[in-house]
């Protein structure tokens, strides 16, 4: 058992210490006190914090109701309270500090960015809201966004929530088919995109991709097109509207629509262990509360800070830490359009130095990539403005942790390894910057209100420490996503039924004697490639559904995630051919691999393309037909002596064949 007992504790460096008056919890003692209160007296904790941190149009009457025993059906937070997300993120700061910088846009091409003050942000958001209103957007509507990380995306997200409408962001790396499914699932009437997007010097034809998706989206009647390059977009008469030309026609104030605390704020699609992506729906009051709380206490974000989160705005990290977290706390947020290595590997250091960034939040996959370029160039930059670093999305190995801490943080910044999920809406586990000692490679301690537990496969709590088990959470928290749009049954079955009385995270973990949690990785068939969460079933159905000359060519497919030094995990596909294709000389290994890659690229997106495709005679299956993915993972890792129990295999002779295809003939 990996207990992590050997890992050293790293005390919080002086520069990371909480600043008095910032509202951040000031020391470990206060963390412990507030944590205990959040667990033992949640009524007081949540009431006091929610009233202090958010502006309520109408204060809530009751703090919460419901529990996990009821499968989450009656979970409600801040009952009968009314508020507006945009008011909390923009207006209240624009009213008090109009000239504070809200956004710093770092465009794909360095030097072409600009800054936006809170006053300007308010105007831009209001104009966008008035335009959206004129297009018929109303409270409760779901508008699908297929947008890159640019300021207009932030204006539009905020404008939608200002009107009480929901944004449903689809990461602009998804293919038209994936976008189509998400638009149809949400029944959006309006889709918003750019004419083109720019990424690492390349042009992405976003509007063209949307047009392809819309061939099969019967609900969509309007497409709003933001000009990013001003080139190349084809406008469909009567359907497509140019955002830039229209938005300037509107006035600079649009009132906020107050919504009930439990009214939905946004949808975000995420992968589960079955093929179909799930539209996670977050509630307004709970999400805003969880986000402002973790942004403030984990990173110490406060007015005057420049927060730089490297995530794409189309994922939960982007929602919470590019947009809502920094703005709710009245800070400045960096809107980063490109990749950490464009135009070169010094881009992040240059941004930190130029804008005096105070917190830098990124993912292990980016850190591993940047580490390959060495340390010498980092030393050329003044990074002394940094107080905290953050990592998210996948486990951070000890050597990667140390490299980031020593070379970027110069051993003077906190490093918060934050563990959370699209579903959780806020960080669940981390050490708070400047507060608790850190342990390299460990997510750390529970955040306020979170009671992490380890379960054995039968659902019994493992109480001794250290221990290893399935990570679950014992009690509800405000920012937990409320449902899967249109399929509440699936929500219950995915999160609350596997272990009744607990929220099932999908991850395995160990907890050490000090209560520090170390995430092991997913225990279901979800794989994390460069921080992108993918269900192996999604990729398998993309492969199996693929056709050549209108004929199905793959009879079966299995996809597994294996360790990868750069991307964390990588996808490896095993595919079997239909009998007609077996002797067809047109199909070489290369053409079949190209076909498989194209299937995944077209159905999901480039980021999901397998690293390697093996064409095999059959898959290892149990007598009931279940694919034994564990066996495939071991064979890929070359661990032939660790294949485990094989007596349930219906086709044991296949093992030698698989080994010879993957590892070459003996």
Q: Among residues 228 and 278, whose Cβ is nearest to ligand PRX?
A: 278
- 332-336 vs 101-106, strand pairing mode: parallel
Among 506, 546, 610, 620, binds ligand PRX (CB under 6 A): 506
Residue with Cβ nearer ligand PRX (349 or 419): 419
Token representation of residue 243: 């955002």
Which x/- pattern, by CB under 6 A, does the window 574-593 give for ligand PRX? --------------------
Told to check if 64 binds ligand PRX by CB under 6 A, we report no
Rounded CA separation 25/435 (Å): 8
State the Cα–Cα distance between residues 207 and 287, nearest whole angstrom. 31
Q: Using the minimum distance from each CB to ligand PRX, give the nearer residue, 127 or 422.
A: 422
Report if residue 395 touches ligand PRX, rule: CB under 6 A: yes
Measured CA angle at 336 (ends 298, 309), to 5 deg: 10
The answer to whether the beta carbons of residues 443 and 512 sit under 8 Å apart is no
Q: How far is the CB of 324 from ligand PRX (least distance, A)?
A: 14
Nearest to 337 by CA among 113, 127, 526: 113
Q: Is 129 in the site for ligand PRX (CB under 6 A)?
A: no
Q: What is the DSSP string of 259-285?
A: EETTSEEEEEEE--SSSS-EEEEEEHH
Count of positions on this chain that bind ligand PRX (CB under 6 A): 21
For the beta carbon of residue 501, count every other beta carbon within 10 angstroms: 15
Q: Which residue from 13, 277, 330, 393 is in contact with ligand PRX, where contact means CB under 6 A?
A: 393
- Return the CA Rg of the chain: 25
- Which of the ranges 53-61, 83-91, 115-123, 504-512 carries the binding residues for ligand PRX, by CB under 6 A? 504-512
Cβ burial, residue 27 (10 Å; 0-12/13-18/19+): middle
Q: How far is the CB of 95 from ligand PRX (least distance, A)?
A: 32
CB of 624 to ligand PRX, least distance (A): 28
422 binds ligand PRX (CB under 6 A): yes
Contacts for 381 with CB less than 8 Å, ≥ 6 apart: 346, 349, 350, 352, 353
Q: Does 517 bind ligand PRX (CB under 6 A)?
A: no
Bridge partner residues of 562 (DSSP): 570
Tell which one of 316, 581, 632, 635 touches ligand PRX (CB under 6 A).
Answer: 316
Is the CB of 182 or the CB of 355 nearer to ligand PRX? 182
Q: Which of 443, 511, 554, 559 binds ligand PRX (CB under 6 A)?
A: 443
Among positions 82, 108, 305, 507, the unique one binding ligand PRX when judged by CB under 6 A: 507
54 touching ligand PRX, by CB under 6 A: no
381 burial via Cβ count (<10 Å: 0-12, 13-18, 19+): middle
Q: Which residues partner with 569 through β-bridges?
A: 563
CB-side neighbour CA atoms (13 Å) of 75? 26
| Window 76-115: contact mask with ligand PRX (x via CB under 6 A) | ----------------------------------------
Task: Give the one residue of 24, 49, 317, 479 binding ligand PRX; rule: CB under 6 A.
Answer: 317
Nearer to ligand PRX, 476 or 506 (CB): 506
- List the one residue from 106, 240, 417, 524 that touches ligand PRX (CB under 6 A): 417
* Minimum distance of ligand PRX from residue 216's CB (angstroms): 26
Q: Which of 105, 287, 361, 419 binds ligand PRX (CB under 6 A)?
A: 419
Q: Give start and end residues of each alpha helix (H) in 97-175.
A: 118-134, 151-162
The reply to whether 502 sits near ligand PRX by the rule CB under 6 A is no
State which residue, 360 or 443, has the beta carbon closest to ligand PRX: 443
Establish if 365 lies at the interface with ligand PRX (CB under 6 A): no
Q: Which residue is nearest to ligand PRX (CB)?
A: 422
Place of tokens 């919470």: 320
Q: ∠ CA(425), CA(564), CA(1), 5° rounding?
A: 75
For residue 293, the minimal CB distance to ligand PRX (Å) is: 16
Residue spans of alpha helices (H) in 508-578: 536-545
439 contacts ligand PRX (rule: CB under 6 A)? no
Min separation Cβ 24 and ligand PRX, Å: 20
Instruction: Between 528 and 567, name the residue whose CB sits nearer to ligand PRX.
Output: 528
Contacts with 144 (C-beta within 8 Å, 6 or more apart), sequence order:
168, 169, 170, 179, 182, 183, 186, 188, 190, 191, 192
216: its two tokens: 């099969």
535 vs 592, which CB is nearer to ligand PRX? 535
Q: Which of residues 140-199 bind ligand PRX (CB under 6 A)?
A: none
Percentage helix, strand, coil for the chain under 3-state DSSP, each rounded to 5: 35, 25, 40
DSSP class of residue 234 equals P
Of the candidate residues 119, 181, 185, 394, the single one contacting ligand PRX (CB under 6 A): 394
Residue placing its CB nearer to ligand PRX in the complex, 78 or 504? 504
Tokens of 403: 């490299």
Three state DSSP letters for 484-512 = ECCCHHHHHHHHHCCCCCCEEEEEEEEEC
| 220-279 residues near ligand PRX, rule: CB under 6 A | 270
Q: Can residue 420 be called a binding residue for ligand PRX (CB under 6 A)?
A: yes
Binding test (CB under 6 A) with ligand PRX, winner from 117, 193, 418, 567 = 418
Comparing C-alpha atoms, which of 311, 416, 443 is closest to residue 366?
Answer: 311
* In the complex, minimum distance from the CB of residue 6 to ligand PRX, in angstroms, rounded to a whole number: 19
Please give the Cα distance from 196 to 232 (Å, whole number): 7
Decide: is 361 part of the binding site for ligand PRX (CB under 6 A).
no
Residues 518 to 547 in contact with ligand PRX, rule: CB under 6 A: 519, 522, 528, 533
Nearer to ligand PRX, 105 or 404 (CB): 404
Q: How far apart are CA 581 and CA 555, in angstroms?
A: 10
Q: How near is the Cβ of 538 to ligand PRX at its closest, in Å?
A: 13
Strands (DSSP E) contained in 565-650 are 568-577, 612-615
Angle between helices 629-636 and 654-663 (to 10 degrees): 40
Q: Does residue 25 touch ligand PRX according to CB under 6 A?
A: no
Contact region with ligand PRX (CB under 6 A), list: 152-160, 217-225, 256-264, 411-419: 411-419
Alpha-carbon distance 662 to 552, whole Å?
Answer: 24
State the residues that interact with ligand PRX by CB under 6 A. 270, 316-317, 392-395, 417-422, 443, 505-507, 519, 522, 528, 533
């Amino acid at each position: 058992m990996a207990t992590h007992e050997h890992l050293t504790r790293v005390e919080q460096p002086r520069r990371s210490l909480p600043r008095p008056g910032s509202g951040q919890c000031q020391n470990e003692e206060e963390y412990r006190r507030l944590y205990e209160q959040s667990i033992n007296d949640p009524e007081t904790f949540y009431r006091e914090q929610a009233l202090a941190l958010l502006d309520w149009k109408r204060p809530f009457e009751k703090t919460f109701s419901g529990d996990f025993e009821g499968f989450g059906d009656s979970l409600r937070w801040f009952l009968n309270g009314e508020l507006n997300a945009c008011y909390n993120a923009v207006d209240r700061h624009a009213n008090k500090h109009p000239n504070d910088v809200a956004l710093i846009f770092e465009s794909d091409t360095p030097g072409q960015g600009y800054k936006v003050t809170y006053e300007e942000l308010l105007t831009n958001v209001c104009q966008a809201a008035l335009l959206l209103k004129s297009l018929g957007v109303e409270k409760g509507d779901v508008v699908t966004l297929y947008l890159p990380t640019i300021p207009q995306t932030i204006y539009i997200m905020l404008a939608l929530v200002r009107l009480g409408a929901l944004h449903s962001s689809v990461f602009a790396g998804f293919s038209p088919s994936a976008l189509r499914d998400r638009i149809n699932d949400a029944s959006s009437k309006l889709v918003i995109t750019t004419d083109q997007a720019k990424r690492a010097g390349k042009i992405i034809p976003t509007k063209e991709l949307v047009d392809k998706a819309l061939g099969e989206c019967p609900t969509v009647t309007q497409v709003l097109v933001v000009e990013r390059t001003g080139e190349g977009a084809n406008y469909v008469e009567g359907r497509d509207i140019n955002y830039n030309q229209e938005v300037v026609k509107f006035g600079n104030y649009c009132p906020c629509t107050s919504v009930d605390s439990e009214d939905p704020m946004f949808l975000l699609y995420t992968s589960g262990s079955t093929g179909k992506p799930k539209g996670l729906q977050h509630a307004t009051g709970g999400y805003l509360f969880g986000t402002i709380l973790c942004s403030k206490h984990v990173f110490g974000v406060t007015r005057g800070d420049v927060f730089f989160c490297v995530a794409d705005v189309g994922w939960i990290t982007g929602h919470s830490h590019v947009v809502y977290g920094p703005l709710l706390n009245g800070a400045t947020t960096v809107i980063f359009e490109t990749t950490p290595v464009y135009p070169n590997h010094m881009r992040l250091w240059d941004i930190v130095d130029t804008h005096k960034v105070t917190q830098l939040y990124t993912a292990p996959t980016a850190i591993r990539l940047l580490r390959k370029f060495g340390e010498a160039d980092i030393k050329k930059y003044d990074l002394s403005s940094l107080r905290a670093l953050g990592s998210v999305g996948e486990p951070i190995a000890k050597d990667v942790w140390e490299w980031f801490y020593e070379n970027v943080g110069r051993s003077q910044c906190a490093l918060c390894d934050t563990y959370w999920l699209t579903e959780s809406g806020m960080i669940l586990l981390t050490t708070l910057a400047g507060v608790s000692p850190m342990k390299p490679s460990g997510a750390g301690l529970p955040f306020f209100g979170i009671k992490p537990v380890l379960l054995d496969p039968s659902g019994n709590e493992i109480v001794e420490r250290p221990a290893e088990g399935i990570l679950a959470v014992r009690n509800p928290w405000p920012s937990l996503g409320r449902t899967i749009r249109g399929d509440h049954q699936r929500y219950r079955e995915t999160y609350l039924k596997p272990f009744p009385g607990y929220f099932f995270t999908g991850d395995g973990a160990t907890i050490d004697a000090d209560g520090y949690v170390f995430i092991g990785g997913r225990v279901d068939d979800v794989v994390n490639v460069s921080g992108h969460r993918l269900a192996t079933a999604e990729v398998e159905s993309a492969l199996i559904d693929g056709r050549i000359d209108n004929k199905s060519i793959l009879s079966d497919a299995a996809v597994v995630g294996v360790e990868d030094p750069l991307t964390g995990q990588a996808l490896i596909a095993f595919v079997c051919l239909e009998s007609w294709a077996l002797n067809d000389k047109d199909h070489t290994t290369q053409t079949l691999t190209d076909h498989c890659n194209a299937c995944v690229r077209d159905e999901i997106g480039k980021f999901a393309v397998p690293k390697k495709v093996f064409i095999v005679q059959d898959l290892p299956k149990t007598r009931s037909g279940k694919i034994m993915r564990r066996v495939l993972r071991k064979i890929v890792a070359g661990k032939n002596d660790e294949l485990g129990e094989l007596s349930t295999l219906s086709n044991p002779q296949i093992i030698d064949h698989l080994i010879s295809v993957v590892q070459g003939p003996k």
